[in-house]
Amino acid sequence: MVDMASPQDSSLTRIHPTLSQVLGAMESLWPLSLQAGWDASGVVAGRPEQLIQRIHWAVDPVQAVADEAVSYGADLLITHHPLFLKPVTSIAATTFKGKVVHTLVENSCALITAHTNADSAVGGVSDVLAEILGLEDIVPLAPADGSAEEGIGRVGTLQHALRLEDFAARVYSAMPAVAGGVRVAGDSNGIVSKVAITGGAGDSLFDAVREHEADVYITADLRHHPASEAREQAMLSGDRPYLIDVSHFASEWLWLPTGAKALERALADEGYTVTTAVSALNTDPWDFILTSGDDTKTITSETE
Ligand SMILES: [Zn+2]
């Protein structure tokens, strides 16, 4: 039985950080100054003085994730994606975002998001991706102002050049399984050595990819026109960069275990203990896919 006034209780007060101390540790790892002007990372819900014992990590602040955090007994949910990017006039629980807020607040679970600041920082989303894929000599694809290490995306080199198909297989096996798999544009036998990567949607960075003369570009949410135009442009000069289109969710999920460990270490350095867990939920919105196998290039038209 725990006596609420016992010394044991006050020792808990000493070893667990407050929400504001967690926020301070996050700031040292993923400074808000690195976030894009349109972004809204930071505290979405929570009291600064709240003690944080359990932290739950996920990519998306969706209802299933909020429910999971609560069932895990988390005091804090940290997600990569913001819950709110646009102003709202209501958080009524009849709206899906309002319901997420109610679920968390009613169960004393705070919410912090680390979005483009975590994309840009050293040890952030694209850095982790680059390391998992075995890249070396990693530099930012689009450096933050005045920084040689921070910025959106990364470019690096494979220790041993690979066929595009083999490299795509490496990408595929590194990612959590999702319905959409991995799509590739380019010659499966083409050799790739220099790799550009942007976790999440990176189709605005083709100019930087070309400037770095990357052999292949990995990103998510590649739409028809940017992808088609990038391939047409590539064919004018050596067919590079090839493209690998991955799941937005999967490309960013890979950061979570590393981010969780980094925060745990930063808090431990200040004498605080937290327990962390990474969500195992797949929050990629797509559930299944139909493909035509190897016949994707074949279009038949029947006339009478
Ligand atoms: Zn994202």
Residue 225 counted as an annotated binding residue: no
Q: How does pLDDT run across 117-172, given as a tens digit for each residue?
A: 999 999 999 999 999 999 999 999 999 988 999 999 999 999 999 999 999 999 99
Q: How does pLDDT run across 105-121, given as a tens digit for each residue?
A: 999 999 999 999 999 99
The verdict on 85 and 140 lying in the same domain is: no
The verdict on 184 and 79 lying in the same domain is: no
From CA 144, how far away is CA 93, in angstroms rounded? 38
The verdict on 219 and 127 lying in the same domain is: yes
Asked whether residue 107 is domain-assigned, the answer is: yes
From CA 134, how far away is CA 220, in angstroms rounded? 19
Residue 80 counted as an annotated binding residue: yes
Query: How far, in Å, from the CA of 304 to the mean position of ligand 1?
Result: 48
The verdict on 13 and 108 lying in the same domain is: yes
Q: How does pLDDT run across 277-299, given as a tens digit for each residue?
A: 999 999 999 999 998 766 555 66
Single-letter amino acid code for the residue at 215: D
Query: How far, in Å, from the CA of 247 to the mean position of ligand 1?
Result: 10
Long-range contacts of 174-177 (CB under 8 A, 24+ apart): 174/132, 174/133, 174/254, 175/246, 175/247, 175/250, 175/251, 175/253, 175/254, 176/249, 176/250, 176/253, 176/254, 176/282, 177/282
Query: How far, in Å, from the CA of 166 to the mean position of ligand 1?
Result: 26
| Confidence at residue 293, expressed as pLDDT on a 0 to 100 scale | 66
Query: How far, in Å, from the CA of 251 to the mean position of ligand 1?
Result: 8
Which range marks the domain in which residue 184 is found? 119-249
Asked whether residue 199 is domain-assigned, the answer is: yes
pLDDT at 37 over 80: yes
The verdict on 112 and 206 lying in the same domain is: no
Query: How far, in Å, from the CA of 12 to the mean position of ligand 1?
Result: 35
Residue 248 counted as an annotated binding residue: yes
Chain mean position to CA 178: 15
The verdict on 26 and 97 lying in the same domain is: yes
| Confidence at residue 294, expressed as pLDDT on a 0 to 100 scale | 63
Q: Report the phi/psi class of residue 214: left, alpha or beta, with left for phi > 0 and alpha for psi in -120 to 50.
A: beta
